[in-house]
A and B are shown apart, each in its own frame.
Chain A
């Protein structure tokens, strides 16, 4: 048997095996690999920060889709730039491609994190959620604050965040962080500013 015939035979056997097993993944759709997800959560590979997401949006990360899992009324009131509204109840019916990078967000982090688990169970691996939700976006990107007693390293880091903030029409400031207010109040404040 010549080398070509041996190689052809090996390719045919591997291809026939591929047809038998069907999918190039051991995890069937709808199955959750609990150990793997737990390890990802422990390594904090499951989420992105608001600044990371802002950088991806600004730099036009290929295949990025930002998904707002809140109800439509909340989405219409305020949402992140380029975000799409897929309310949580319809997340299983949404059309996502495996090679897309999906970033989910909600008001806090809980609903987006739950949607993350659902999409992972459907076999999507390039999925993240915004850790602190819309509140983190408003705090860290739209109204970042540089403490008055900041170190030079903190000032340098803040300069980049301030650039990012300005890009999205935010208002970086200097001073003590204002008292925490609820997300809905911040949203209303953003709307008053015309964002």
Chain B
């Protein structure tokens, strides 16, 4: 199974890991997009005969699917990075990228709705919808929104992203691929989705559409040890024992202030100041979360990070 020669405008990178029970439903939701100018690149980190059979049955009828099982397990961070890298390698001219899980569900109108948002404004680097949470016996609309349309000050976008954004929902949005690459994709830190979105917020605006177009399966309870275990199959790097805000600020300092990767949108000096601001905002967020223990729906999973 290999990618098409033609360049689709959108590529979904699907890092799969042991969910053959839900994979067919997810794949159908992606293949049923009313806007069909897309390709799906599946990198399988827990290659099972079942998952392979499911993908092959769809790929046989739909050449938009590419399936690549990993030879060695990479863990979640490595697999997410690989999904993006393979998508860029196979379709270098595609404009937009989105991660897809192997168990959530995309509304048929997801792409049709989000694509014009990014097409319509070069300042927007991410478009994402409202989300519905699927529990084993229940479903809930997730209220609350976050949007930085028209916010010209990068630091204000960063502050909002850190303090208000549900990163685990936004990370499954539609990205401008060049901006995503510039922000460094997924990094080996805790809360890598939040880290990525923080850097990305300095490069452009986030747009949220009012429709509920993404149905997210509830996953296990969130914890840092669980993330270390899921993200890093061997031993987690030492820096992952630091507070996530410190890890993220250090990366931002390195990326934007030292390497100058945020230019021209964000210069070196501005990058250094943003790294300091990130540290402060992260501490503010942590304080606020401690002060308001939980307003989320109680249940088996109240997680808003990538899964």
Chain A bound to chain B: no
Q: Which A residues are within 8 Å of any B CB, using their own CB?
A: none
